[in-house]
Amino acid sequence: MSRWGERFRQSWILRAASGSVRSRESGNPVPCEAALGPRFRGDERKLWLAAIVLLLMNLSAPTLAQSPKPQNYNIGSPATQEQIAGWDIDVRPDGQGLPPGKGSVRDGEQIYLERCAACHGEFGESAGRWPQLAQGKGTLASHEPVKTVGSYFPYAASVFDYIRRAMPFGDAQSLTNDELYAVTAFVLNLNDIVDDKFVLSKETWSKVKMPNEGGFYDDDREAAEKAFWNSNPCMKDCRPPVKITGHASVIDVTPDDKSIRKGGVE
C-alpha cells in the first residue's frame, strides 16, 4: 500500500472507531494526526495507538483493501436448478446439452415450409438475400465459395444450437424440442447428410457426420505469417513506381452522401 493509502486507511479507521473525529471549528473530519495531537497526550495517546492496532487486526472493522486477493464478496445469489434449466440451451458437438425429444425429416419438412422457407427457400436455396442453407458442395476452394450447412458447418451442434436460440428470425426460441429436432433433421436432409427416413434425437445424434468436419484448423498466423513480424521494415525505394490498378468509383456501390462535396478544393 502506498504511504498515502496507509494514511488514508488509518484516518478512516479512526473516524469509524470514534464515530468520526471532527474539528471543533469547522465540523469537518480532520486527518488523524491532527485529531490526535491536541486532545490526546501521553498515556491516552498510547491507549489510542493500541486501539488502532487492535482494530487493524479485527477483520470486521471497515478497512480499505487496495488489492484484494481471491476474495468472496458475498455478492450474488445462488442460481437454482430451475433457473438454470430455463436458460441453459447450449448444445455441444458431443451432444452435451441436448434436450429430450425427437423429430423426423418428414415432420421437419412441414415445419420448415411453414416457418423457414419464406426466407431460406423451399430447398434451402435462399429466397432473395436471406442466407442459403443448402448446396455449395465442392465450392470452398473456388473463387465463389458457397458456405452452407452442408458445405461448411463442421458439426450438427453448430446448426441445432443456432436454430434453437435464433430461428425463426424474429420469433426466436418458439420451437418445441420435437419441432427443433425435426426441422434440424430436415435441414440436414436438404443437404443430403441424413436420409428421408431419419429421426434426430439424443440417441441418433452421433450418427450425423458433417462433410466439412475436417475443414478447420487452429489459428496458425504466428507461424504461417511469420514474415509479417519484421523489426526493420523498408523505408526507402521499397518498390518500383506504383500504379493504380483498381478504383472504388468504378464499382460505385457506396451509399450516396449529400453532405460530401467531392471536389474538395474551392
Partner 1 sequence: MNSSDEPPRPSRRRVLAGAAGMATAGLAGAARANDANLPPNVAPWSKAMGDGVAVRPYGHPSPFEKDVIRRDVQWLTASRESSVSFTPLHQLDGIITPNGLCFERHHAGIAEIDPHDYRLMIHGLVDKPLIFTLEDLKRLPRVNRIYFLECAANSGMEWRGAQLNGCQYTHGMIHCVMYTGVPLKLLLEQAGLKTNAKWLHVEGGDAAGMNRSLPLAKALDDCLIAYRQNGEMLRPEQGYPVRLVVPGWEGNIWIKWLRRIKVGDEPWYTREETSKYTDLLENGKARKFTFEMDAKSVITSPSPQAPVKSKGFLVISGLAWSGRGKVSRVDVSLDGGRNWHAAKIDGPVLDKACVRFYAETEWNGQELLLQSRAMDDSGYVQPSKDDLRKVRGVNSIYHNNGIQTWAVKASGEVENVEVG
> Which residues within the stretch 232-251 sit at the binding site for ligand HEC (CB under 6 A)?
none
- Retrieve residue 89's grid coordinates: 440451451
Among ligand HEC, partner 1, none, partner that 187 touches (CB below 5 to 8 angstroms by kind): ligand HEC
Local structure of 202: helix, strand or coil: coil
Among partner 1, ligand HEC, none, partner that 116 touches (CB below 5 to 8 angstroms by kind): ligand HEC
State which H helix or E strand residue 200 sits in: strand 199-201
In whole angstroms, the minimum distance from the beta carbon of 138 to ligand HEC comes to 17
Q: By CB under 6 A, is residue 105 in contact with ligand HEC?
A: no
Closest to ligand HEC by CB, 11 vs 124, is 124
Q: Are 201 and 181 in contact (CB under 8 A)?
A: yes
Local structure of 33: helix, strand or coil: helix
Residues 108, 210: Cα–Cα separation, whole Å: 19
Q: By CB under 6 A, is residue 187 in contact with ligand HEC?
A: yes
- Retrieve residue 92's grid coordinates: 455441444
Among ligand HEC, partner 1, none, partner that 168 touches (CB below 5 to 8 angstroms by kind): ligand HEC
Closest to partner 1 by CB, 32 vs 175, is 175
Q: By CB under 6 A, is residue 131 in contact with ligand HEC?
A: yes
- Retrieve residue 195's grid coordinates: 436420409
Among partner 1, ligand HEC, none, partner that 225 touches (CB below 5 to 8 angstroms by kind): partner 1
Among partner 1, ligand HEC, none, partner that 242 touches (CB below 5 to 8 angstroms by kind): partner 1
In whole angstroms, the minimum distance from the beta carbon of 16 to partner 1 comes to 19
Cα–Cα distances in angstroms (integers) from residue 249 to residues 60, 221, 242, 252, 262, in the given order: 70, 33, 19, 5, 12
Among ligand HEC, partner 1, none, partner that 143 touches (CB below 5 to 8 angstroms by kind): partner 1
Q: Are 90 and 155 in contact (CB under 8 A)?
A: no
Residues 18, 47: Cα–Cα separation, whole Å: 13
Q: By CB under 6 A, is residue 137 in contact with ligand HEC?
A: no
Local structure of 175: helix, strand or coil: coil
- Retrieve residue 20's grid coordinates: 468520526
The binding site for ligand HEC (CB under 6 A) comprises 115-116, 118-120, 130-131, 133, 149, 159, 162-163, 167-170, 183, 187
